[in-house]
């Protein structure tokens, strides 16, 4: 079970790297950012398949997508100066709250 969460962390990191590189790829016209996108998504989806051996798909996807959204927004703010407005910050806070509730209180999440 512990390894499933390590795989999930790697999947999230790879997806965040790939998504963040999408803008830098300039519609796949720049080689290295484009390579990061393709390799990052390949790693992310492979690792997610490993996660799904131990964690239900809905739970894994909620954690993966929720944390990915927040991390990509932070990278967008820092790297691309795309500062979220107050409503976006509240929305991301709700996403984080949802992931916490899911992990702490749901019986669907194996502990």
Q: What is the pLDDT of residues 56-80, one digit of tens each?
A: 998 898 899 999 999 999 999 999 9
Q: Is residue 82 part of a domain?
A: yes
Greater pLDDT, 2 or 31: 31
Q: Is the pTM of this model over 0.85?
A: yes
Going 64 to 70 to 71 to 75, the CA torsion angle's sign is: positive
Please give the residue range of the domain that contains residue 54: 2-105
Total domains in the chain come to 1
Mean pLDDT of all residues in 17-21 = 97
Residue 111 has pLDDT above 90, yes or no: no
Q: Is residue 110 part of a domain?
A: no
Residue 106 has pLDDT above 90, yes or no: no
Q: Is residue 13 part of a domain?
A: yes
Residue with tokens 């964690």: 55
Mean per-residue pLDDT of the chain: 93
Q: Is residue 71 part of a domain?
A: yes
């Amino acid at each position: 079970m512990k390894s499933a969460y390590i795989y999930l962390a790697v999947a999230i990191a790879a997806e965040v790297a790939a998504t963040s590189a999408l803008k830098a790829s300039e519609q796949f016209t720049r080689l290295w950012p484009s390579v990061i996108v393709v390799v990052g998504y390949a790693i992310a989806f492979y690792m997610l398949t490993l996660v799904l051996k131990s964690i239900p798909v809905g739970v894994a996807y909620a954690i993966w997508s929720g944390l990915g959204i927040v991390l990509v927004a932070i990278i967008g703010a820092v790297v691309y100066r795309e500062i979220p407005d107050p409503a976006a910050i509240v929305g991301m806070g709700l996403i984080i709250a949802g992931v916490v509730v899911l992990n702490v209180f749901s019986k669907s999440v194996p502990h």
